Amino acid sequence: MASSLRPLALLGAFVVGYLFPQGAALAWAIPWFVRFMLFAVFLKLEFPKLRLRRSHWAILALNLGGAVVGCELFRLFDAETFALTAFFTAIAPTATAAPAVGAFLKRDVEHIVAGLLLTTFAFAVALPTLLPWVLGKPVAGAFLDVASNVGSVVVAPIIAARIVRALYPASQGWTARLKNVTFGAWVAMVTIIAAKATTFIADPANGVRPTILLEIGALSLVVCVLNFGLGYLVGERDFRPEASQTLGQKNTGAAIYFAALYADPIVALGPTLYVLWHNLWNAAQLEILALKERKKERKAASTDAAEQAVDGEDESNAADVASRSKRKAN
What is the mean pLDDT of the segment spanning 175-198? 83
pLDDT at 57 over 90: yes
Domain range for 159 is 3-283
Q: Does residue 290 lie in a domain region?
A: no
Neighbouring residues of 299: CB distance < 8 A, sequence distance ≥ 6 = none
pLDDT at 240 over 90: yes
Please give the residue that has the higher pLDDT: either 189 or 53: 53
What is the predicted pLDDT for the residue at 324? 62
Query: Which CATH number does the domain housing residue 213 bear?
Result: 1.20.1530.20
Q: Does residue 330 lie in a domain region?
A: no
Please give the residue that has the higher pLDDT: either 9 or 171: 171
Q: What is the mean pLDDT of the chain?
A: 84
Structural domains in the chain (count): 1
DSSP single-letter state for residue 94: B
Q: Does residue 188 lie in a domain region?
A: yes
CA distance 141 to 119: 25
Beta bridge partners of 250: 94
Longest dimension (CA), the chain: 110
What is the predicted pLDDT for the residue at 228? 97
Q: Does residue 86 lie in a domain region?
A: yes
Q: Does residue 193 lie in a domain region?
A: yes
What is the predicted pLDDT for the residue at 154? 77
Task: Please report the DSSP string for 222-285 in residue order.
Answer: HHHHHHHHHHHHHS-TTSHHHHHHHHHSB--HHHHHHHHHHS-HHHHHHHHHHHHHHHHHHHHH
What is the predicted pLDDT for the residue at 199? 84
What is the mean pLDDT of the segment spanning 180-188? 83
Give percent of the chain with pLDDT exceeding 90.
32
Decide if 34 contacts 153 (C-beta within 8 A): yes
CA distance 200 to 182: 27
Q: Does residue 161 lie in a domain region?
A: yes
